[in-house]
Structure 1
Amino acid sequence: MVDEIVTCMASNNDMSDIQRIQTEHRVKLAEFWGVKAGARVLEIGCGQGDTTAVLAHFVKENGFVHGVDIGSRAYGAPITLGESADYIMRSALGKQVKMEFEIDILASEVEFPINSFDYIVLSHCSWYLESHEALLSILKKIRKWGKQLCFAEWDTNINTIEQYPHVLAVLIQAQYESFKQTSEANVRTLFTPSDIRKLASEAGWKIENEDSIYSPKLQDGEWEVGQVLSEFETELNHLNDMPEKLASLIKSEVSILKDHIQKQEMKPLSTFTFTAR
């Protein structure tokens, strides 16, 4: 199954090993969500289609996956969102996939008929949002569009010391991102599982099943740590309104991060996931 999906991804040409690991993780999510053949799915925050392709495989030829993302087709590297979407839609999965970009799900003109989807999916996309209020508004708006919400985001509750660098890197980014008005960072707002449960409940969703899924081969923890170590000085130098004491604290946290990765193996965080109606 995984190899079949990976061949439909643009990154299969140069990064097949990375893509295979990412796809294996998303297969676990789709299995937990119980995505059925023939289903209609709305995926919000589809990005380059890592989850989109997996969902398309699960819904089969009689199903349909509509992926939307607020990012532009030119966003992303080394493969842009647009390039990745075009590749998927030309692949064997393309007949059951539609991917659109620069779609603000909260815009008044973005609407779908009541219960037009069997599943509405938000997979590893909530930390890109600008605020807790934005996620709450999205969860409220989409309720009438579909029967089941399928949600996944990194689980900030660490189970092993090897996961500590990932969560520390995320916390460091979230601190300086809170001073920005606009951003294209991976971590713009940090949501814990408790935050997400609360927001889902406030929006009127009732969580039926939840889990924490661990995929130890995922490279995301290493990517986030690398991002912090390569860019934190630039970030701090550009934030003139940050208190000096907080800037010093972040530098100390980076020092802790550096010390830790020299002594311990690094592993990614688990993924908090749930289904709700």
Structure 2
Amino acid sequence: MAGIVDALANMAVTGLGALLGWNITLRAQNHLQPSPFPWQFADLLEHPWRVQALDPGQTLDLYGLAAGMNVLDLGCGSGLFTRTAAHMVGESGYVHAVDLQAAMLARAKRSLEEAGVLDRVALHHCGAYDLPLEDDEMDLAILVSTFGEIPDKLAALNELRRVLKPGARLGVTDELYHPAFTLPGTVRRLAEEAGFRLLAKANLAIGYHQVYINAK
């Protein structure tokens, strides 16, 4: 019995070490060349621990999402926050989900179909610099663990200002264990340089939330 326990312990340590090594490697790569979270690890985005820690409904409430809004989910990944947003905007609202990775969008589409809200969502395979949206169209844009993945962050923020209505909100969340984690002070500096004004912020055990106003 002791041998089995020792073997399991060794497996756990080895697995933890491999995960830590993977995270460190991705952090180094993102520092040199920011890139999206690999679609091959999409299951981690839906892990129950992460869902509980971030609580998509509470996060979107903090951002100010309400029924009838037009919402942009930039870097939607597996669709975790897209699904919740689609439920919350109701039949009178709409969500635009954007991701650079076709495999992520395919997974998001499946999850939206299963949740019965695909009719409220448009999926866009594109980046952050040239969004397929009209000027002053969005009521809210959300970036959940996406900001650090964008190489030219100021260009992306300027594009977000273009598509957001005057007075619309931008919600930014980041997680400490995310390979592209960005310090909150860096986000605020760049957001304010682009013309956004900080409205609210909250610290989490695993990261932080920030909410901005598009001060046009």
TM-score by length of 2: 0.68
Secondary structure at the counterpart of residue 196 of structure 2: coil
Q: Distance in 2 between matches of 1:141 and 1:34?
A: 21
Contact 1:150/1:276 (8 A) holds in 2: no
Question: 1: distance between equivalents of 2:88 and 2:191?
Answer: 25
Distance 1:198 1:91 in 2: 37
Do the aligned residues in 1 keep the contact of 2:146 with 2:174 (CA within 8 Å)? yes
Q: Deviations over 1:122-149 (max 9, x none)?
A: 111122223xxx1111001110211221
- Write the mapping of 1:211-250 to structure 2, written as runs, cut at 5 A: 211-214=202-205
Secondary structure at 1:273 match in 2: strand
Contact 1:89 1:98 (8 Å CA) reproduced: no
The alpha carbon displacement at 1:20 in A equals 7.7
2:108 pairs, out of 75, 79, 84, with 84
Report the number of matched residues: 167
Aligned-partner Cα distance in 1 for 2:190–2:50: 30
Output aligned runs, 1:123-272, within 5 Å: 123-130=144-151, 134-146=152-164, 147-154=168-175, 166=177, 187-188=179-180, 190-214=181-205, 269-272=206-209
Identity %: 21
User: What runs of 5+ residues in structure 1 fail to find an aligned partner?
Assistant: 1-13, 74-79, 157-165, 167-185, 215-268
Does the residue aligned with 1:206 lie in a helix, a strand or coil?
A: strand
Quote the residue 2:141 is aligned against: 120
Question: How far is 1:29 from its partner?
Answer: 0.7
Of 64, 68, 90 in structure 1, the residue corresponding to residue 94 of structure 2 is 64
From 71, 92, 97, the counterpart of 1:41: 71
Q: Matched residue of 2:169: which SS?
A: strand
Distance, in Å, in 1 between the alignment partners of 2:147 and 2:61 is 21
Deviation, 1:95, is 1.8
Report the Cα distance in structure 2 between the residues aligned to 1:38 and 1:20, rounded to whole angstroms. Answer: 30
Aligned to 1:22: 51
C-alpha deviation, 1:19, in angstroms: 4.2
Q: CA deviation at 1:64?
A: 0.4
Give the Cα–Cα distance (whole angstroms) in 2 for the partners of residues 105 and 21 of structure 1: 25
Equivalent residue for 1:104? 127
> Deviation of residue 38 (structure 1)?
0.7
TM-score by length of 1: 0.54
Q: CA RMSD in A?
A: 2.5
Alignment-derived partner of residue 276 in structure 1: 213
